[in-house]
Chains A and B, each alone.
Chain A
Amino acid sequence: MLTYAIKRIGLAVLILITVMLAMYAMVFLVPGDPASLALGPRATPELKAQLIARMGLDQPVWVQVWRFFANALHGNLGYDVWSRRPVLDQILQVFPNTLFLGAVALGWALVLGVALGCAAVVWRGTVVDAVLGILSVSMIAVPPFVIALYLLLIFAVWLGWLPAIGAGTPGDWASQFRAVLLPAFSIGITWVGYLARLVRASMLEVMGANHIRTARAFGLSELRIVTRYALRLAIIPTVAILAVGFGSILSSAVFVETVFSRPGIGTLVTSAVAKRNYPVVMGSVLFMTAFYLVVVTAADLLIARLDPRVRDVFRG
């Protein structure tokens, strides 16, 4: 297990380095140098030279890359071009909002998705199964920001039940919770559909396996077979897809936070892109990648915990 964990974490570090290199390449691939982009067409050459020096863009490429790495490893993601505030401070200030949004979205999607998936298995081949199938596919097909706009219109504008914008008052949990409901619903609904389909498929597959027949042949009760023998196996693909799902939820947050004018890493990136504030864009993307890798690695370790066969693949 330890060997597996070390290998898995090593792989995550490698991916992070690759992403950092790709990010850095982006700076060079974008036409025009970042300093001119940041200052606009009417900047004086002196001002430009000053900014280029401050960003370290006058140094050879390998020095720049090395500095970027070294700084990132020390927790320094660079400085905002406009406010000169450290990028990491800005990220840490808004990230809890995004994390809360993601967690609530994934949480309700998990509960409802698994429940609907199990319902489809219990009533498989009936009208319930067919209706759930159509419902799930519809949930998957509709983009979250479309749902977000409709939810805003219905619950915030027409009914006035929930706030239309913001993340609630800091320190006031009730207002924060009310503010997260609509965005979390619009992000999570896709995942309700995915999880319902996935849980149904993996449960059906597992229930047809030989070892389930063995458990039946030894007279174990159906409830025990489902909860102990089938679910342990059927939950494995769900854990794997949930980790990937967390990444996709972070990217949906970019749209949904904009629609709901909710402070978060999504709104931070969107406004930074608009203002050509490239250190903030790079820092945020790198931060999200790192966070995503932590989630995926944790999920992989959890899967290895759940499935001894996976552990052995990475042992040898």
Chain B
Amino acid sequence: MTEPLLQVRDLRVAYGPVQALRGASLNARAGEVVGIVGESGCGKSTLAAALIGLPAPGATVSGEVRIGGDDLLALPEPARRRLRGERVAMIFQDPMTAFNPVLTLGDQLIDFQHRLAEPRAAKRGRARAMLARVGLPDPDLALHRYVHELSGGMRQRAAIAAALLMRPPLLVADEPTTALDVTMEAQILHLLRELRGEHQGAIVIITHHLGVVGELCDRVYVMYAGEVVEEGTVEEIYHTPRHPYTRALIACDPAHVAQGQGHLPTIPGRVPDLAAPPAGCAFAARCPLASARCATPPPRHRFGPTQVAACYAVAP
């Protein structure tokens, strides 16, 4: 097997006393689409920020984020900046605020290619081609537009075009469809599915939406309270989920709820306080299978070559 393009080892991020990420490890190979799912507050956005080497100011970070061998977190800022935009790019969650309001889309898309020693016209041409590729109806006009003049769907397409401009090996998409309505979401998912065929590198999609994962991903990491509790292929996670949290998450997905059930199932209880996380399994307090041993860190059980779940109760 080839060396993974992205390797995250024991990543820990804390904002003061709050431990947002508590030793997350994951990897992604070239040509692979990896999904990271979890509910709000599980550390997804913190992970996204760390993947592009831009943790929030004041955050304490430890662990490794290796992109093509270089540890992003160990590099000095100038070197880190060189990797950003060239080896890793991000599709941002809210495209309305992700673009500068007083510069045209064209200006920004040209700026984002600052690493290339090419004339402006060539960069403009590349930006135009990329906008056409992501399906903006009139790319020449769009280059002269400001973000507030574009519709939500067009903005999201433009954000995807921006991330693809430099053809980075690693693409991180932070909730790429959350800000969109259902029809728009379907169109953007369709676009991302097309693009994943063309893209040579790895794509990491961070979302709370299981539907997005099922549509786009090869493998999935399920996160809970700053930790990866289960990983596996999409088929494994959907059809033979092992971890009680994954099972609960799938049971609560509106798409899986039977017709006429009358109510939406929920997971009882709350996410633990990350300022004082439990020593053992973080899900134990809400888990139907929990017992006394769950007060100590659970073992990571392997189920076949690709599936791993961190739980005492589901030993293979």
Assess whether A218 is in contact with B85, with CB atoms less than 8 Å apart: yes
Q: In which size bucket is the chain A interface?
A: 20 to 34
**Of all chain B residues, which has the CB nearest A210?**
B97
Contact with B along A218-233 (1 / 0, CB 8 A): 1111001000110011
Partner of B97, one of A211, A306, A309: A211
In the bound complex, residues from chain A placing their C-beta under 8 Å from that of B102 are 232-233, 306-309
- Asked whether A29 is an interface residue with its Cβ less than 8 Å from the other chain, the reply is no
Assess whether A218 is in contact with B112, with CB atoms less than 8 Å apart: yes
In the bound complex, residues from chain A placing their C-beta under 8 Å from that of B97 are 209-211
Contact with A along B82-94 (1 / 0, CB 8 A): 1111100110101
Contact with A along B150-171 (1 / 0, CB 8 A): 0000000000001000000000
When chains A and B are docked, how far (Å) is the Cα of A312 from the Cα of B150? 13
Assess whether A218 is in contact with B111, with CB atoms less than 8 Å apart: yes
- Asked whether A217 is an interface residue with its Cβ less than 8 Å from the other chain, the reply is yes
In the bound complex, residues from chain A placing their C-beta under 8 Å from that of B149 are 308, 312
**Of all chain A residues, which has the CB nearest B145?**
A308
Assess whether A229 is in contact with B114, with CB atoms less than 8 Å apart: no
When chains A and B are docked, how far (Å) is the Cα of A214 from the Cα of B89? 10
In chain B, residues 99-122, which have Cβ atoms closer than 8 Å to a Cβ of chain A?
Answer: 99-103, 111-112, 114-115
In the bound complex, residues from chain A placing their C-beta under 8 Å from that of B146 are 308-309
When chains A and B are docked, how far (Å) is the Cα of A3 from the Cα of B229? 59
Also in contact, A218 and B84, with CB within 8 A (given A228-B111, A312-B149): yes
Assess whether A218 is in contact with B83, with CB atoms less than 8 Å apart: no
In the bound complex, residues from chain A placing their C-beta under 8 Å from that of B252 are none
When chains A and B are docked, how far (Å) is the Cα of A214 from the Cα of B111? 11
Centre residue among A209, A217, A306 by max chain B CB count within 10 A: A217
- Asked whether A213 is an interface residue with its Cβ less than 8 Å from the other chain, the reply is yes
In the bound complex, residues from chain A placing their C-beta under 8 Å from that of B111 are 215, 218, 220, 224, 228
- Asked whether A67 is an interface residue with its Cβ less than 8 Å from the other chain, the reply is no
Partner of B81, one of A210, A213, A219: A219
In the bound complex, residues from chain A placing their C-beta under 8 Å from that of B5 are none
Assess whether B103 is in contact with A217, with CB atoms less than 8 Å apart: no
Partner of B83, one of A209, A214, A216, A219: A219
Q: Closest CB of chain B to A158's CB: distance in Å? A: 49
**Of all chain B residues, which has the CB nearest A233?**
B102
In the bound complex, residues from chain A placing their C-beta under 8 Å from that of B101 are 211, 233, 307-309
Assess whether B94 is in contact with A210, with CB atoms less than 8 Å apart: yes
In the bound complex, residues from chain B placing their C-beta under 8 Å from that of A224 are 111, 114
- Asked whether B148 is an interface residue with its Cβ less than 8 Å from the other chain, the reply is yes
Contact with A along B47-87 (1 / 0, CB 8 A): 00000101000000000000000000000000001111110
Assess whether B103 is in contact with A232, with CB atoms less than 8 Å apart: yes
In the bound complex, residues from chain B placing their C-beta under 8 Å from that of A213 are 54, 92, 98
Assess whether B86 is in contact with A214, with CB atoms less than 8 Å apart: no
Assess whether B98 is in contact with A219, with CB atoms less than 8 Å apart: no
In the bound complex, residues from chain B placing their C-beta under 8 Å from that of A233 are 100-102
When chains A and B are docked, how far (Å) is the Cα of A90 from the Cα of B148? 50
**Of all chain B residues, which has the CB nearest A236?**
B102
Assess whether B162 is in contact with A218, with CB atoms less than 8 Å apart: yes
In the bound complex, residues from chain A placing their C-beta under 8 Å from that of B81 are 216, 219, 221
**Of all chain B residues, which has the CB nearest A208?**
B57
Assess whether A217 is in contact with B83, with CB atoms less than 8 Å apart: no
Also in contact, A210 and B148, with CB within 8 A (given A216-B84, A218-B89): no
Assess whether B82 is in contact with A219, with CB atoms less than 8 Å apart: yes
Q: Closest CB of chain B to A215's CB: distance in Å? A: 7
In the bound complex, residues from chain B placing their C-beta under 8 Å from that of A307 are 101-102
Assess whether B115 is in contact with A219, with CB atoms less than 8 Å apart: yes
Q: Closest CB of chain B to A210's CB: distance in Å? A: 4
Partner of A220, one of B52, B90, B114: B114
Assess whether A229 is in contact with B85, with CB atoms less than 8 Å apart: no
When chains A and B are docked, how far (Å) is the Cα of A258 from the Cα of B84? 60
Q: Closest CB of chain B to A166's CB: distance in Å? A: 45
Partner of B92, one of A210, A221, A309: A210
Contact with B along A228-269 (1 / 0, CB 8 A): 110011000000000000000000000000000000000000
Partner of A214, one of B99, B115, B148: B99
Q: Closest CB of chain A to B185's CB: distance in Å? A: 20
Also in contact, A219 and B114, with CB within 8 A (given A233-B102, A307-B102, A308-B102): yes
When chains A and B are docked, how far (Å) is the Cα of A258 from the Cα of B31? 78
**Of all chain B residues, which has the CB nearest A230?**
B100
Closest 5 CB pairs of A and B: A219-B85, A210-B97, A218-B85, A219-B84, A218-B112
| 24 CB < 8 A contacts A-B | A210-B94, A210-B98, A211-B99, A211-B100, A211-B101, A213-B92, A215-B100, A216-B84, A217-B84, A217-B89, A217-B90, A218-B89, A218-B114, A219-B83, A219-B84, A219-B86, A220-B112, A224-B114, A232-B102, A308-B101, A308-B146, A309-B102, A309-B146, A312-B149
Q: Which residues of B contact A (CB under 8 A)?
A: 52, 54, 81-86, 89-90, 92, 94, 97-103, 111-112, 114-115, 146, 148-149, 162
Given contacts A219-B115, A220-B112, 19 further A-B contacts (CB under 8 A): A211-B99, A213-B98, A214-B162, A216-B84, A217-B52, A217-B90, A217-B92, A218-B89, A219-B81, A219-B83, A219-B84, A229-B103, A232-B100, A233-B100, A307-B102, A308-B101, A308-B149, A309-B101, A309-B146
